[in-house]
Structure 1
Amino acid sequence: MARSQQQRKSETRARLIDAAAELFARKGFHAVSAEAVADAAGRTTGALYSHFGGKEGLLLALLEVWKERTAEELSMRLAGRADPAEHFGAMWGSIVRPVADRGDAWLLLELELWLNGARGGPGGDDLAQRYAATRAQLGEGLADWARTVGRPLPYPPAETGALVLGVLLGCALQHRLDPASVPDEIVVGALRTLLRLDDPPDPRGETQSP
């Protein structure tokens, strides 16, 4: 049976993302040309630009795939678990632990994309929107979890997402250069403190102010 045009587009998109994952992770974003990715995928450079608008758009799509895959894995692993240490430890591990499909390249590629956007390169607006979506997703997810365990968050979800993301990324940068200086327990402890999980519970069901 002949494949539909949509199926062919989906296959081309997937092949380009898979090729980018291998090349970007191994060589870095700036060391790999759009032509090299297209050749590895068995597609044309024109197809790459048609689907992603350029190398930056392709990297953004790749990182979104990794993020969504990680979120699904964490959701399945942590379903029904109320211990915050497990949740925070899993979130931290997803950033700093090598994974089969991406090794330890995720953080480095995130930084390359951020630097490109921060310097006014192509895709900066899309990157800002991605960070906003990540903060919102993280904050809402933590709010849902907090309601499940009966411990409301001390900050609105969007602010919570920004703060938690800041702790995770800031610690990950230091961990990348000197892992021993940022053990898992201090990251988990910082997130517990940030969310005031060790404060006495408020009898009205609200987190007490410090």
Structure 2
Amino acid sequence: MTVNASRKRLSREESRAQTREGLLDAAKMLFARQGFEGSSVEQIAEAAGYTRGAFYSNFESKELLLIALIERCFDDDLNGIAQLQGDLVSVSAGFQEAADLEEARHREAHLLKMEFWMCALRYPVVRAAYAEQHARLRTAIGSLIEAQYAALHRPLPAPADQLAAVTVALRNGLDSQKLISPDAVPNDLYGLTLHLLLTGHAPQQPSTD
């Protein structure tokens, strides 16, 4: 009887987790397409295939759902950064590879990122959560940059956290420009500029011999 109760409880927990993830997935799509303020609780629940009651059994408010989504997206970014290894050349190439999503995915991901940023400016509770996650991102990138400079026995030209902030700002700025004026931002511009920023010189071009 104890075993059956345990299985039933686990099933409820799994069902709740599935509902929560479904709501987050729906919110991710809607926030990218029509913005946080343009998406209602009812629309999010309907897009996920659940009721308004299911929404509020998982999230007390739309703002708290947004914070959960921000945390999930930053976790995904941090998992990707954790996979980057090698010297500064491969590190910059790794960042570039992460930026080279196919156009539709790239557009949705960037619009969502900008929506996070706008909501952080407008809502204090979201700002605090966003700032915390952004600090985690800078720390992760800064540690990676610091390790690469140490491997090359070179001093950092600036604090690692500041260099990380610049790499994030560079990525976001170029992504915005590329979505508006694709021809103005070649696919390799981010990797090239990041390598130049981190090493002080342009990457060597492969030999044509």
State the TM-score, normalizing by the size of structure 1. 0.73
- Offset at residue 163 of structure 1 (A): 1.6
Q: Over aligned residues, Cα RMSD in angstroms?
A: 3.1
- Tell me how far apart the structure 1 counterparts of residues 199 and 186 of structure 2 sit (CA, whole Å): 20
1:94 aligns with 2:101: no
Q: Match for residue 166 of structure 2? A: 163
- Tell me how far apart the structure 1 counterparts of residues 144 and 175 of structure 2 sit (CA, whole Å): 21
**2:74 touches 2:137 (CA, 8 Å); kept in 1?**
no
Q: Match for residue 129 of structure 2? A: 126
1:198 aligned to which of 166, 176, 201: 201
**2:26 touches 2:48 (CA, 8 Å); kept in 1?**
yes
- Tell me how far apart the structure 1 counterparts of residues 113 and 197 of structure 2 sit (CA, whole Å): 24
- Tell me how far apart the structure 1 counterparts of residues 22 and 66 of structure 2 sit (CA, whole Å): 13
Identity of aligned residues (%): 30
1:133-173 Cα shifts (integer Å, max 9, x gaps): 22222212322344345545322222121121121112222
- Tell me how far apart the structure 2 counterparts of residues 56 and 98 of structure 1 sit (CA, whole Å): 29
Q: Which runs of 5+ in 2 are unaligned?
A: 1-6, 203-209
Letter of the 2:47 counterpart = A
**1:116 touches 1:122 (CA, 8 Å); kept in 2?**
no
- Tell me how far apart the structure 1 counterparts of residues 93 and 62 of structure 2 sit (CA, whole Å): 33
Q: Match for residue 8 of structure 2? A: 2
1:172-207 Cα shifts (integer Å, max 9, x gaps): 2212211221224432232223223439xxxxxxxx
- Offset at residue 110 of structure 1 (A): 1.5
Partner SS, residue 8 of structure 2: coil
Partner SS, residue 104 of structure 1: helix
Length, aligned pairs only: 195
Q: Match for residue 205 of structure 1? A: none
Q: Which runs of 5+ in 1 are unaligned?
A: 200-210
Q: Match for residue 32 of structure 1? A: 39
Letter of the 2:190 counterpart = V
**1:96 touches 1:104 (CA, 8 Å); kept in 2?**
no
Letter of the 2:55 counterpart = L
Letter of the 1:82 counterpart = D
After TM superposition, list the pairs within 5 Å mapping 1:1-210 onto structure 2: 1-4=7-10, 5-49=12-56, 51-73=58-80, 75-76=82-83, 78-79=84-85, 81-82=86-87, 84=89, 86-95=90-99, 97-98=101-102, 102=105, 104-120=107-123, 122-148=125-151, 150-198=153-201
**2:195 touches 2:201 (CA, 8 Å); kept in 1?**
yes
Does 1 or 2 have the higher relative contact order (CA < 8 Å, sep 6+)? 2
- Tell me how far apart the structure 1 counterparts of residues 186 and 24 of structure 2 sit (CA, whole Å): 33
Cα distance change on mapping 1:157 and 1:41 into 2, 3 Å: same
- Offset at residue 105 of structure 1 (A): 0.9
Letter of the 2:126 counterpart = G
- Tell me how far apart the structure 2 counterparts of residues 28 and 119 of structure 1 sit (CA, whole Å): 13
Cα distance change on mapping 1:95 and 1:67 into 2, 3 Å: farther
- Tell me how far apart the structure 2 counterparts of residues 197 and 134 of structure 1 sit (CA, whole Å): 23
**1:95 touches 1:106 (CA, 8 Å); kept in 2?**
no
- Tell me how far apart the structure 1 counterparts of residues 76 and 157 of structure 2 sit (CA, whole Å): 29
